[in-house]
């Protein structure tokens, strides 16, 4: 098994951070164009050029926690779980991110770890300046296909 | 135990990437001001404002692999190992990074995962444009101290 963890401190209200993780507008502003149903149990679709990632919202604890279950039927993201834990501390909002349950440590997992950091920085920019760098305006780090 | 992995693809020669990981000038250009002895078995010191991280160069395989053993006597980096594996593929140079052997998954480990991605992007910029963002010009993501 392999897990990815990131943490960022953001100079923004925790309520605003929670909105960025739980609304279609917010998610589309820092990750990628998002469609779907934003309630607990609802399905979200994140649209990229050639793929469409589907997540089920497994848990929502207002202003505290967001958990997504990846519902892909194949591929390395199958059965993985993404969690955002929010915490106010030291005059900031901290976002503790994890993407857990990878079957094993792979090249794609390492790539996604780097890429999640890129999107956490986009989320930070969105929350602090109003402008993120969602796909396809994200920083490209490339991926080794083999 | 917890491990951090990242991967970046860089539009630069693999020899240049290896130099950026094995010379004082290169390391100082993307991570932080570096002093020490760059041979296998040598000690490197990475200087930050209030801390100084010491690493022993555990392995150097020219144009392929760099391994550092952290020789800190205390703290969470104690006994951890940092590895850079270089590979040419798809017309690029891929840098596969790991920071392994954390005693457990902690807040600092999550912070460092994000921060290593920031420095991998700095390394990519340095290799592709000649200018990285080493400390103290790095992107600040903050760290939750408790």
User: What average pLDDT does chain B have?
Assistant: 96
DSSP B121: H
**pTM assigned to the model:** 0.96
Strands A2-10 and B33-36: unpaired
Exposed, middle or buried: residue B124 (CB in 10 Å: 0-12, 13-18, 19+)?
A: buried
Q: Give yes or no for a contact between A144 and A136, defined as CB atoms under 8 angstroms apart.
A: no
| Structure-token pair, residue B43 | 């000690």
Instruction: Check CB contact under 8 Å for B142 and A110.
Output: no
Question: Is pLDDT at B142 greater than 80 in this prediction?
Answer: yes
What single string gives the DSSP state of each residue in B22-85? HSHHHHHHHTSEEEE--STT-EEEEE-SS-EEEEEEEEEETTTEEEEEE--SSSTTTT-EEEEE
Question: Is pLDDT at A146 greater than 80 in this prediction?
Answer: no
B110 contact A CB<8A: yes
Give residue-wise pLDDT tens across range B16-48.
999 999 999 999 999 999 999 999 999 999 999
Residues of A in contact with B142 (CB under 8 A): 8-10, 92, 94
Complex ipTM: 0.95
- The arithmetic mean of pLDDT across residues A110-135, rounded, is 98
Q: Give yes or no for a contact between B96 and B78, defined as CB atoms under 8 angstroms apart.
A: no
Q: Write out residues 3-42 of A within 8 Å (CB-CB) of B.
A: 3-10
Q: Give yes or no for a contact between B144 and A85, defined as CB atoms under 8 angstroms apart.
A: no
In the CATH scheme, what architecture does the domain B2-129 have?
Answer: 2-Layer Sandwich (3.30)
CA distances from B25 to A18, B11, B28, B37, B137 (A): 42, 20, 5, 12, 16
């Amino acid at each position: 098994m392999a897990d990815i963890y990131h943490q960022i401190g953001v100079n923004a209200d925790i309520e605003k951070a929670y909105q960025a993780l739980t609304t279609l507008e917010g998610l589309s502003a820092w990750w990628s164009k998002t469609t779907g149903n934003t309630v607990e149990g609802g399905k979200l679709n994140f649209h990229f050029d050639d793929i469409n990632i589907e997540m089920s919202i497994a848990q929502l604890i207002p202003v505290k926690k967001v958990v997504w279950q990846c519902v892909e039927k194949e591929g390395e993201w199958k059965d993985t779980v993404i969690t955002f834990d929010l915490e106010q501390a030291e005059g900031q909002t901290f976002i503790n991110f994890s993407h857990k349950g990878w079957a094993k440590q792979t090249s794609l997992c390492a790539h996604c770890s780097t890429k999640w950091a890129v999107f956490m920085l986009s989320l930070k920019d969105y929350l602090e300046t109003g402008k993120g760098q969602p796909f396809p305006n994200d920083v490209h780090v490339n991926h080794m296909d083999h």
